[in-house]
Amino acid sequence: MSETAWILTASVLAVVLLLLLIIRFRFQPFVALLVAAITFGLATGTAPLDLAEQIVDRMGGALGQVALIIGLGAIFGEVLQRAGAAERLATTLVERVPDRYLSWALGLAGFLVSIAVFIDVAIVILVPLLYAIARRTGRSLLYYGIPLCAGLSVTHTFIPPTPGPIATAGILGADLGLVIVYGVVCGLPAMAVAGPLFGRFVAKRIFVPVPAEADAVSVTAGNGAEGARSGSGEGPSAIGGAEDGAADPLPSFGSVLGALLLPLALILGGTTSSLLLPEGTQAATVLGFVGHPVIALLLTCLYTLWFFGVRKGRSGKELQEMATKALAPAGVIILITGAGGVFGGLLVDSGLGEVLAAGMQQINMPIVLFGFLAAAVIRVSQGSGTVAMITGATLTAPLLETIGASPSLAALTCVAIACGGTAFSHVNDSGFWMANRYLGMSVGDTLRSWTVMKTLVGLTGLTVALVLTLFVT
């Protein structure tokens, strides 16, 4: 077997090993990625001591900026979650929008909420609102639930500072400002198609009533949301719970919207300043500094801790506990991202990029499509969107380096990988079972609604990304 054929074979076997470790043997993805990376390195002839050094170097290189952004983003999201940002956005939009446009308002609410709040947390917090609207209108719960979940799904996987796109962009070396821009451009059509449009279609064919246990779920979800907000576990949410004078009032709509858009505006300001302003000028220097992703997230964190914490009378101890709690899940994602960077680095060093580039050139496959397919295969196999995106980025990174992709193409590839990590959700995905439980559907109806919605998000986003590649170099 030639060296080229062996590199390709070893990479395929390494991915198969990775999937076996995660699916069959229930390895933690961080450990599984390291084992697959080491196996691949040894199989392709890397000396053991050199391999150990490469692992350490690649781990550190992969986590420089990514670890800081994911950690700061987690604190930012935790503060807004406890402040009641999700409830405020959703209730304000629903109150101000006529019934015939409610599905679009809920899609937009999900799109905004998921900038900072994890999708599973947002579903738990907002599901009582869906119950209340469905009761009032008599429509299928899917008419409102699908748009909300589509909006949540798009931002959670397409747009930084959520962990998935941050990790993917870090592995690919993509510019975060461009990822935000292309994530929004690809994400809004995906939300529209998979959300309000598909929600209207599927609601006519599958009538899902408000679950019989909705009252219990509403109280539980409401208490959980307010408990997170107050830090005490007492007092119901403003949505679905009883009145409690001790409960913290929800923040204003403008303050929540401003906090959500602040990091995006700072990062985009830094990206555009480098393109529009002469290098070395004071304005370019200031905008570049505050627009650096790490500085932008740090400033946003400090602002939200003051505005939604200190200003509301929270003690330093409460804020410290809040930040510490947020960093626990962030740590897992950071380690998985680092291990993915190790795996990707070894693939680059092996020359896999040249092998794949030659093969893709022969069949004329765009790199954006390759990234989507790589992530989608992992997504279907093991269920986790984050693992799928990180692994898809790991397999695609050697190609980007080989072909010398432009910043725009790298950003679009990042979005395409996110599309692959979103699509085809089924029974091995925890999100599938959350939708099944909270929307009160059978497994068959969940496949026909949730799975199709997630797939439409991925395919619509991919289609827009492929079209955009015709206009960028």
CA torsion through residues 304, 305, 306, 312, sign: positive
- Reported as half-sphere exposure (CB side, CA atoms, 13 A), residue 68 has a value of 12
Residue-wise DSSP of 304-338: HHHHTTGGGT--HHHHHHHHHHHHHHHHHHHHHHH
Q: Is the pTM of this model over 0.85?
A: yes
CA dist 404 → 167, 316, 367, 368, 395 (Å):
20, 48, 12, 14, 16
Q: Are 46 and 346 in contact (CB under 8 A)?
A: yes
Q: Please enumerate in sequence order all residues whose Cβ is within 8 A of that of 428, keeping only pairs 6 or more positions apart, or say none.
A: 23, 382, 383
Angle of CA points 457, 463, 464, to nearest 5°: 90
Reported as a single tens digit per residue, the pLDDT across 212-232 is: 766 544 444 443 333 333 333
End-to-end CA distance of the chain: 37
pLDDT digits (tens), the chain, 473 positions: 678 889 889 999 999 999 999 998 989 999 999 999 999 999 999 999 999 999 999 888 778 788 999 999 999 999 999 999 989 999 998 889 888 899 999 999 999 999 888 888 888 888 888 999 999 889 999 999 999 999 999 999 999 888 899 999 999 999 999 999 999 999 999 999 999 999 999 999 999 998 876 654 444 444 333 333 333 333 333 333 333 344 578 899 999 999 999 999 999 999 888 878 888 888 899 999 999 999 999 999 999 999 999 998 889 899 999 999 988 888 888 999 899 989 988 988 888 888 888 888 788 899 999 999 999 999 999 988 989 999 999 999 988 888 888 999 999 999 999 999 999 999 999 899 999 998 889 999 999 999 999 999 999 999 999 999 999 86
CA 163 to chain centre: 6
Place of tokens 């670890």: 67
Domain enclosing residue 242, as ranges: 3-469
CA dist 414 → 19, 53, 136, 369, 460 (Å):
22, 28, 41, 11, 15
Reported as a single tens digit per residue, the pLDDT across 418-470 is: 999 999 999 999 899 999 998 889 999 999 999 999 999 999 999 999 999 99
Give me the number of domains the chain comprises. Answer: 1
